[in-house]
Amino acid sequence: MEAESHLLTIASTRFGELQLEEDDLLYFPDGLLGLESCQRWILLIDWDHAACGWLQSATVPEIALAVVSPRRFVPDYQIRTTPAELQSLQLENLTEAQVLVIVGKNSCGQTLNLKAPLILNPTHRLGRQIIAKGDLPVRYVLPLSPTQLLKLAS
């Protein structure tokens, strides 16, 4: 007999009302930097732009963060994690994880926060934002215009 999953409705100012299974939620026990109280999130795929996704807060309708795989734009991107960081996500090693970074915008254009990636355990639906070791930029400027970025994502 299969366990019954619960359907949730999540309000979002960007995407309207979202219906999803409770099992679709990602749990970030420590929240995100600056958003520590936001612990439950949903990862939405942008079907129009496959390279991009959205991390929508399940509790604060106004908070949705654009995210991408950093390796799509920085192929040699690597991070080092501590055993404690991996253990908190129930991961043996980083190859089991999905790594995303938050997309920002400044006067130079679109940026990626390579210093504070999101590490996800898709199996256990756990996430954690870490401060990566080494000399990684908080605002890595993409050498693309927003239009070029969307074309690349298509």
74 located within any domain = yes
* More confident position, 54 or 152: 54
CATH of the domain at 97: 2.30.290.10
pLDDT confidence tier of residue 25, bands split at 50, 70 and 90: very high
Number of domains in the chain: 1
Kindly state the average pLDDT of the residues 22-39: 96
Does residue 53 lie within any of the structural domains?
Answer: yes
Looking at residues 39-48, what average pLDDT do you find? Answer: 88
> What is the DSSP code (8-state) at residue 130?
-
Q: Is residue 37 part of a domain?
A: yes
Q: Which structural domain, as residue segments, surrounds residue 35?
A: 7-153
154, pLDDT greater than 50: no
- Band the pLDDT of 143: cuts 50, 70, 90: confident
Sign, CA dihedral 121-87-77-102, equals positive
Domain-located, residue 108: yes
Give me the amino acid identity at 48.
Answer: D
pTM, entire model: 0.85
Three-state DSSP at 142 gives: coil
Would 80 be classed as within a structural domain?
yes
Confidence label for 46 from pLDDT (cuts 50, 70 and 90): confident
Rounded CA gap, 144 and 150, in Å?
9
Does residue 1 form part of some domain?
A: no
